[in-house]
A and B are shown apart, each in its own frame.
Chain A
Amino acid sequence: MVRALALSAALIAATPLFAKEGHEAVTTFTLDNGMDVVVVEDHRAPVVQHMVWYRAGSADEPIGSSGVAHFLEHLLFKGTDTMEPGELSATVAANGGNDNAFTSYDYTAYFQRVAADRLELMMRMEADRMRNIRLTENDIATERDVILEERNQRTENNPRSLFGEQMSAAQYLNHRYGVPIIGWKHEMEELDMGDALSFYQTHYAPNNAILVVTGDVDPDEVKTLADQYYGVIPANPDLPERVRSQEPPQTAERRLTYKDARVAQPYVQRSYLAPERDAGAQEKAAALYLLAELLGGGTTSYLNEKLQFDQHKVVYTGAFYRGVSLDDTTFDLIVVPAEGVSLQEAEDAMDQAVADFIAEGVNEDDLNRIKMQLRAAQTYARDNVDGIGNRYGRALTSGLTVEDVQAWPDIVQGVTGDEIIAAAREVLQPETSVTGWLMRDDEVTQ
């Protein structure tokens, strides 16, 4: 059992709120069957969040079964050998708790928030459904209708989501990140019992899972309970390595227009294939993270100053980098043109501003201001231990280690302006990019 605190190992006092001033009270260890455990303490309120994260997401799905990871997530709320369909959620509710689950490209996670003295019951039920779900054909048919309605709600009814799907599909030539998490509709319609159970049996095992417990708990007690409920589940010796088809060199700039009568506010989005945070090597990702903040992070960001304040060409601009990802991720720019400004003008202005930013180099005052805010964010983060737990869950299902998570703030603080510019030059290459225009369907392209 390794008690890894941010800086020092000798910090577990008897009743620490935070073991050392300014640091998160994080304890991590691994059960004998390979299940990782992260505990984040906060004793201000007698509440606990109990989560199990699986290293299995939509990008781990077999070809032709898109959406099955998310479909299975829904089906885990049906019955097990010992629980009736819906009993788990009903039991959580009867104990005054809330429960839910979510699926992404690289993970599926289940959680309950409940009074701290109910942790054992949560573990017993969550451990049960790790191996023992029982599904009927009726469960499959009904829940498939539900996920199709979920797709309707999230995607089919929303032109921005449909546009985003097309952007991702164009960005990834060979990797499953090009397929939507919820699935393509025509494949979702065909998902069956076999697809769901096969994904379940392959990926749901303690040696592919991370337990994250946050709140009013004692790490020793969590260890005892985790050994009792999760530790007895045998590891899956046949757990496959997470090998996904990777991107080939991207050599051709891609462009697309998505037209929809429901588009009221057209905009331009640009994505670049970008490296993700890698275990033991997060420096470039840290530079990209700061690049996104500097270019499009807030009111004083470079794109906002140039395009909104100086040139009045856009009503909104932003830059985004999703560094926590198992495989290659993207760096995204977005510009929403002002009234009377065409998409082409907005795109040209964006490109010119990015080129100017790279040519001018990083303004040190701007960089220091962002670093100051990130240091403060570590203090504010302690007010939300569930958020800290989520950070570990995402990282540990995306190829990072506890040490990487804890090293990240210092790595970000150490990035220089020159490194940011070098990362920008390397990543913002037309050949690896997709440029999309979201348009009304009566709009004419120039």
Chain B
Amino acid sequence: MKRIIATLTALIIAVPAWAEIEIEEVTSPGGITAWLVEDHSIPFTALELRFRGGTSLDDPDARGAVYLMSGLIEEGSGDMDARTYARELESLAASFSYRATDDSVSISARFLTENRDDVVDLLQTTIHDPRFDQEAIDRVKAQVISGLKSDQTDPSDIAGRHFAEMAYGDHPYASDGKGTIESVSGLTRDDIVAAYDNVFVRDRLYVGAVGDITAEELGVLLDELLVDLPATGKPIPDKAEVTIDGGVNVVDFNTPQSVALFGQNGIDRDDPDFFAAYVLNHILGGGGFESRLMQEVREKRGLTYGVATYLVPKDLASVYLGSVSSANDRIAEAVEVIRQEWARAAAEGVTQKELDDAKTYLTGAYPLRFDGNGQIAGIMVGMQMEDLPIDYIATRNDKVNAVTLEDVNRVASELLDPDGLHFTIVGKPEGLDG
């Protein structure tokens, strides 16, 4: 009995105290909603604007249009060509960055308080009046194509492309959102404009702001930037049907170390078992040196520098992925060990100690994420896209702590599919056929 009390005490002590992040919901006069964390300690603001949809909005015959468009937004607007625009942005010492994923296009802005109005004016014309000059299209297209060429001989990229093609059939997820050299070469200015019209619409917009700005100031800013966007755009595609078969697919590529991407069906973010799966993944392959896969593949056998697994719940499909790299003559053993660990976790589940350790780590590490205005703005936008409540941060650790050993082990047996675990291996692996 004494021992149990000691353990419990240790657990309670191990949950660190941390400050609450106070999020306020702000609705602008024009009806734009944003989440705000006011913090006036440093005179700048991070603003995150995210539009659901992303590269999956591409028309099949214009693959890569959304990605290319996201690289062209910063290439001139209004009466400024690309060079004038770049000088203007630099002279304001602000930064705007753009990111297109399968599911969203983000604009991350950072600006000083001292010249906020000028920066917002520039961002307004950036969003509303991009020029998409043919000169800029040709130049940025060449940059994208150069990147795609490099991807063609990058083992990780090769593995990613083959895996996606196998897993997602004819869904947009099946191909790279950057497009192919052929598809990007064929993109026209009309394709770029269509992509722009499809992406930047109000009913798929999520906003987070952190820093030296009040709710009232933010409201004015939001209206200037966003209220005139079109109400809606092209519909988002239907969900993907995930078809992952077990087995091994070897992609022959002459390189000394084989790169393996492995995976199976995943679990949706809003599934009631998501937290159990999240804890399970941490124990199996998600968390640093302590995961079973790191211990078995790296620490005990020295077969790799790194092995990791990830739950990937995207808007239109959920998969469970992992990756490992080993020399061509050792990858077969790494694959074998991973398969064994997958099967062992499915059959036997995890131990109470593993569960307790995972909970202390996951709950303790959660506050470490909130380290900077831009980070917090991004997290808040992610929460809104996942339809989480505004007080989610305060309750998230309770959800992790509520996971029982029974939950994890039930989910392990239901979710983990050792026979359905597929390996795509790029290299010259010895002793593996596929």
Residues of A within 8 A of B (CB): 17-18, 44-47, 77, 86, 89-90, 93-99, 113-118, 141-150, 152-153, 156-157, 261-265, 298-300, 305, 308-309, 312, 315-316, 336, 338-339, 369-370, 372-373, 375-377, 379-380, 382-384, 386
Q: Is the CB of A146 within 8 A of B305?
A: yes
Q: Which A residue sits closest to B90, measured CB to CB?
A: A369
Q: Which A residue sits closest to B15, measured CB to CB?
A: A96
Q: Does B372 contact A (CB under 8 A)?
A: yes
A residues less than 8 Å from B255 (CB atoms): 156-157, 262
A-B contact pairs, 26 of them (CB 8 A): A44-B39, A46-B17, A86-B289, A90-B289, A90-B290, A93-B289, A94-B14, A95-B14, A115-B17, A143-B302, A152-B257, A152-B325, A153-B305, A157-B256, A299-B90, A300-B83, A300-B87, A305-B83, A308-B139, A315-B146, A339-B145, A369-B90, A376-B93, A383-B373, A383-B374, A384-B372
Q: Does B189 contact A (CB under 8 A)?
A: no
The minimal Cβ–Cβ distance linking B354 to chain A, given in whole angstroms, is 11
Tell me the B226-264 residues at the A interface (CB within 8 Å): 254-257, 259
A89 interface neighbour in B146, B257, B290, Cβ under 8 Å: B290
A316 interface neighbour in B19, B146, B298, Cβ under 8 Å: B146
Q: Which B residue sits closest to A305, measured CB to CB?
A: B83
Q: Is the CB of A115 within 8 A of B18?
A: yes
B residues less than 8 Å from A117 (CB atoms): 16-17
A residues less than 8 Å from B142 (CB atoms): 315, 338-339
Q: Is the CB of A17 within 8 A of B327?
A: no
Q: Which B residue sits closest to A382, measured CB to CB?
A: B42
The minimal Cβ–Cβ distance linking A339 to chain B, given in whole angstroms, is 7
Q: How many A-B residue pairs have CB under 8 A?
A: 189
* Known A45-B18, A98-B368: A298·B299 in contact at CB below 8 Å: no
Once bound together, how far apart are the Cα atoms of A18 and B40, in whole Å?
A: 12
A94 interface neighbour in B295, B360, B371, Cβ under 8 Å: B360
What mask results when residues 76 to 95 of chain B are scored 1 for a CB within 8 Å of chain A, else 0?
Answer: 00000011001100110100
Q: Does B155 contact A (CB under 8 A)?
A: yes
Once bound together, how far apart are the Cα atoms of A252 and B381, in whole Å?
A: 56
Tell me the B91-146 residues at the A interface (CB within 8 Å): 91, 93, 110, 112, 139, 142-143, 145-146
The minimal Cβ–Cβ distance linking B180 to chain A, given in whole angstroms, is 14
Residues of B within 8 A of A (CB): 14-19, 39, 41-44, 82-83, 86-87, 90-91, 93, 110, 112, 139, 142-143, 145-146, 149-153, 155, 254-257, 259, 287-290, 295, 298-306, 325-327, 330, 357, 360-368, 370-374
Q: Is the CB of A46 within 8 A of B326?
A: no
Q: Pick from B255, B330, B371 the residue with the most CB of A within 10 Å.
A: B371
Q: Is the CB of B43 within 8 A of A265?
A: no
B residues less than 8 Å from A147 (CB atoms): 305
The minimal Cβ–Cβ distance linking B353 to chain A, given in whole angstroms, is 10
Q: Pick from B110, B257, B326 the residue with the most CB of A within 10 Å.
A: B257
Q: Is the CB of A261 within 8 A of B146?
A: no
Q: Which B residue sits closest to A261, measured CB to CB?
A: B254
Once bound together, how far apart are the Cα atoms of A152 and B325, in whole Å?
A: 9
Q: Is the CB of B327 within 8 A of A149?
A: yes
A residues less than 8 Å from B112 (CB atoms): 376, 379
* Known A44-B41, A86-B299, A312-B139: A264·B290 in contact at CB below 8 Å: no
Q: Is the CB of B327 within 8 A of A98?
A: no
* Known A96-B16, A339-B142: A265·B150 in contact at CB below 8 Å: yes
Q: Is the CB of A309 within 8 A of B16?
A: no
Q: Is the CB of A380 within 8 A of B110?
A: yes
Q: Which A residue sits closest to B287, measured CB to CB?
A: A93
* Known A142-B300, A300-B90: A45·B16 in contact at CB below 8 Å: no
Known contacts A95-B14, A96-B14, A265-B146; 14 additional CB pairs below 8 A are: A18-B41, A18-B42, A47-B371, A77-B289, A94-B14, A96-B360, A96-B364, A115-B16, A115-B18, A152-B256, A262-B254, A264-B151, A305-B83, A383-B44
Q: Is the CB of B360 within 8 A of A95?
A: yes
B residues less than 8 Å from A152 (CB atoms): 256-257, 305, 325-327
